[in-house]
Amino acid sequence: MAAAKTTEHTEVPSGEHKSFPPFEKDTFASQLVWLAITFVLLYVLVAKLGLPRVGGTIAARQGKIDGDLAEADRFKTESDNAMAAYEKALAEARNRAITMANETHARLLAEADANRKAVEERLNTRLAEAEKAITATKTAAMTNVRGIAIDTAAAIVARLTGTAPPEAATASAVDAVLKR
């Protein structure tokens, strides 16, 4: 009997051909009314409950995006300001370094010039002392040369003539030659 019940529901009686229920003329108007009621009900539910939630989510996302963009702009402005301050500090440091280098260069040139002048003064003093010593040595040598010249002239004359000339005559002859 269970088999008979299942076939009753699924089999169409042999004499009738029933069509698909939405296409039957008798139920078409009532189905349209229920469709309209269901559509309006679903429309109201979506419009009153669903759309405000979706709109709120979209608004929240847009607010978050706008906030993030504003924060990014603020960070960009801060980083630009920091970069400008860094570049300014770097330029000031370069200028100070150049100034210090120029001051050091000028100071070292002045020190080198002072050292050079001191060395030149010492060298000039030594040169003057050396010239005095040379002059004294030359004078002493010339004094000795006169004596040597007198002795040599006397020895030459004595050898050539066999007699030694008087010392005064030899001295006067040597003085006459040295004066020329």
Indicate whether 58 belongs to any domain: yes
Indicate whether 23 belongs to any domain: no
Indicate whether 93 belongs to any domain: yes
Q: What is the pLDDT of residues 1-13, one digit of tens each?
A: 555 555 555 555 5
Mean pLDDT over each residue of the chain, to the nearest integer: 86
Determine contact, residues 178/149, Cβ cutoff 8 Å: yes
Q: What is the pLDDT of residues 26-78, one digit of tens each?
A: 888 888 899 999 999 999 999 999 899 999 999 999 999 999 999 999 999 99
Indicate whether 162 belongs to any domain: yes
* pLDDT value at residue 65: 96
Indicate whether 175 belongs to any domain: yes
3-state helix, strand and coil shares in percent for the chain, rounded to the nearest 5? 90, 0, 10
